[in-house]
A and B are shown apart, each in its own frame.
Chain A
Amino acid sequence: MSMVLFDVPGPKARVRHKIMAVIGIAAALAGVAYVVMRFVATDQFTARRLDWINYKQIQLSLVEAIGNTLSAFAVGAVLALAFGAIFAAARLSDHAWVRTPAAVIVEIFRAIPLVIMMFFFYYGLPSAGIKLSAFTAVVVSLMLYNGSVLAEIFRAGINSLPKGQSEAAYALGMRKTQVMTFVLLPQALRAMMPTIISQLVVLLKDTALGFLITFEELLRWGTRIGGDAVNFGRPMISVMIVVALIYIGLCLLLTWFANYLEKRNRRNKKVIHTDGDAAGQVQLGNASTAVPGGVTV
């Protein structure tokens, strides 16, 4: 915890903290108890409303929905990483005619809401005679948006390396490509890895926007089963709790992986300690999971 704001507590303060802790626990429990009470009072957890779990058909469709979410995530992530790498390279180019258009494209795609992009590809393009499936529209939008953010992360990561690294490499007579691939990228990638992964968490969460353009992913499955008033009496609450737990579980798994990499990095002596924040700062630009310094919770 931050000790900036407080002195080390004395005996009086410790008693006060204990009293506040009791009040805090009581308030939290009261809040949870009220919600549970409402669940019970409105019969959210009756046998009929939980019955959907027992149907094999529904279980299979849940697996399929998770599969759709994950495949949109996987394809989107790969494409976004490729897009990010290409545009980061273009933005770091020595030629202004490559650098400037790349910068404009990246900035524009970072400024357009993902929803509008998905609408554009799914509802807009058919009027120009191009028909894309919901999956393609989701994946292409994820690629353009997250790819642009990743391009900025890559660029910031490479720029945050000490100048001496590239200067020394040039002094050894390496070419531009060699400097990039042998000296800068390996170091930058290590430093950026946690930030890149938390951007992938954002990408995973953003697949849920496919809900708005009728892409059959996890959330859409949830609203379909949850809205079934005929068979299960609208079990929206229980279904949404399950869906939320699945999303949180998947995201925490990725976050845990990012933290693991960060810890492993810290032990690795090869890592150059940069001012570090650069890549983390970029990422906040889309309300991602990162905070300055790439710390994730």
Chain B
Amino acid sequence: MSVLTNNLELFLRLFGQTLQLFAISAVLSLVLGTLLAALRVSPVPVFRGIGATYVTVLRNTPLTLVFVFFLFAYPLLEILRIEPYTAAVVALTLYTAAFVCEVVRSGINTVPVGQAEASRALGLTFTQMLGNVVLPQALRSVVPPMTSTMIALLKNTTVASGFAVPQAGSIRDALSEQGDNVLFGLIWVAIGFVVLVMPLTYVQQVFEKRWSVAR
């Protein structure tokens, strides 16, 4: 307990950094992922190909490798100097966007084609069809897996601790520098993550139950 109480300020500051890193990357990856999903369901085959290539490459690459690329390899290309923190955001965003893209795409694909055909037959315009029929149904099947993707992103921010970007994973460094007990420190970090993740899991389950559509 004393490890936590003596370093409360350190824990709060670094968990704050984790949340900040998470929030920025979450927003950016949601935007980029949705754009990629738009590419992947577009009627133009070339766009679909570009989206599919991006997703295949990023989803089969370890996140750590993406980090190594942006922190160690990218600076050698001398394109634009970026801070380690920005590089971490870029790595997390690019990696998570591939998963967001897949969630959005499969959400759209769960809507049966008959729904769109029926709306057209009823004479709905394209906007009406999208806004009143397709998207409300797609959204229901997107939210639960999207929450899971975001939980994964929250946990993935700790990968940054190998690259000198301060967040909850760096608490270990700080504690071992002060000569504090690392074992108990790490247990507190783990508890911190459980506390952060559990409410999200709960929200996800509620949505899943309330929104599960019988088809």
Q: Which residues of A contact B (CB under 8 A)?
A: 1-7, 9, 13, 17, 20-21, 24-25, 28, 35, 38-39, 41-42, 44, 107-108, 111-117, 119-120, 123-125, 127-128, 201, 205-209, 211-212, 219, 222-223, 226-227, 234, 236-237, 240, 243-244, 247-248, 251-252, 255, 281, 284-287, 289, 291-293, 295, 297
Interface residue from B50, B68, B115, B194 paired with A24 (Cβ < 8 Å): B50
A205 smallest CB distance to B (angstroms) = 4
A297 to B113, CA, bound (A): 21
B64 within 8 A of A: yes
- The residue in chain B whose Cβ has the minimal distance to the Cβ of A22 is B46
Report whether over half of chain A's contact residues are helix, strand or loop; otherwise say mixed.
Answer: helix
B139 smallest CB distance to A (angstroms) = 14
A35 to B159, CA, bound (A): 26
| Given A115-B161, A211-B162, A236-B72, CB of A285 within 8 Å of CB of B108 | no
Structural contact, A116 and B109, CB atoms closer than 8 A: no
Q: Please give 12 more A-B residue pairs, beta carbons under 8 A apart, in addition to A111-B155, A119-B161, A226-B73.
A: A4-B113, A107-B201, A111-B193, A115-B169, A124-B185, A127-B183, A212-B64, A227-B72, A234-B76, A248-B60, A285-B148, A286-B155
**Within 8 Å CB of B73, what residues of A?**
226, 236-237, 240
**Within 8 Å CB of A42, what residues of B?**
76-78
A18 smallest CB distance to B (angstroms) = 8
Interface residue from A28, A124, A289, A291 paired with B106 (Cβ < 8 Å): A291
B 11-42 to A, binary, CB cutoff 8 A, 1 in contact else 0: 00000000000000000000000000000010
B176 within 8 A of A: yes
Interface residue from A124, A227, A237 paired with B186 (Cβ < 8 Å): A124
**Within 8 Å CB of A123, what residues of B?**
172, 176, 182, 186
Q: Which residues of B contact A (CB under 8 A)?
A: 41, 43-48, 50, 52, 55-57, 59-65, 68-69, 72-73, 76-79, 96, 99, 102-103, 105-106, 108-113, 115-116, 120, 130, 134, 141, 144-145, 148-149, 151-153, 155-156, 158-159, 161-162, 168-169, 172, 176, 181-183, 185-187, 189-190, 193-194, 197-198, 201, 208
Structural contact, B108 and A2, CB atoms closer than 8 A: yes
- The residue in chain B whose Cβ has the minimal distance to the Cβ of A49 is B76
- The residue in chain B whose Cβ has the minimal distance to the Cβ of A211 is B64
| Given A108-B194, A211-B162, CB of A287 within 8 Å of CB of B156 | yes
| Given A28-B50, A285-B148, A285-B152, CB of A21 within 8 Å of CB of B186 | no
**Within 8 Å CB of A234, what residues of B?**
76
**Within 8 Å CB of A116, what residues of B?**
158, 168-169, 186, 189-190, 193
Report whether over half of chain B's contact residues are helix, strand or loop; otherwise say mixed.
Answer: helix
A112 to B52, CA, bound (A): 31
**Within 8 Å CB of B185, what residues of A?**
124
A281 to B149, CA, bound (A): 11
**Within 8 Å CB of A2, what residues of B?**
41, 108-109, 113
Structural contact, B183 and A128, CB atoms closer than 8 A: yes
Structural contact, A112 and B60, CB atoms closer than 8 A: no
Structural contact, B151 and A291, CB atoms closer than 8 A: no
Structural contact, B194 and A112, CB atoms closer than 8 A: yes
**Within 8 Å CB of A25, what residues of B?**
46
Interface residue from A5, A124, A125, A291 paired with B145 (Cβ < 8 Å): A291
Structural contact, A115 and B159, CB atoms closer than 8 A: yes
A2 to B42, CA, bound (A): 8
B158 smallest CB distance to A (angstroms) = 4
A142 smallest CB distance to B (angstroms) = 13
**Within 8 Å CB of A244, what residues of B?**
61, 65, 69
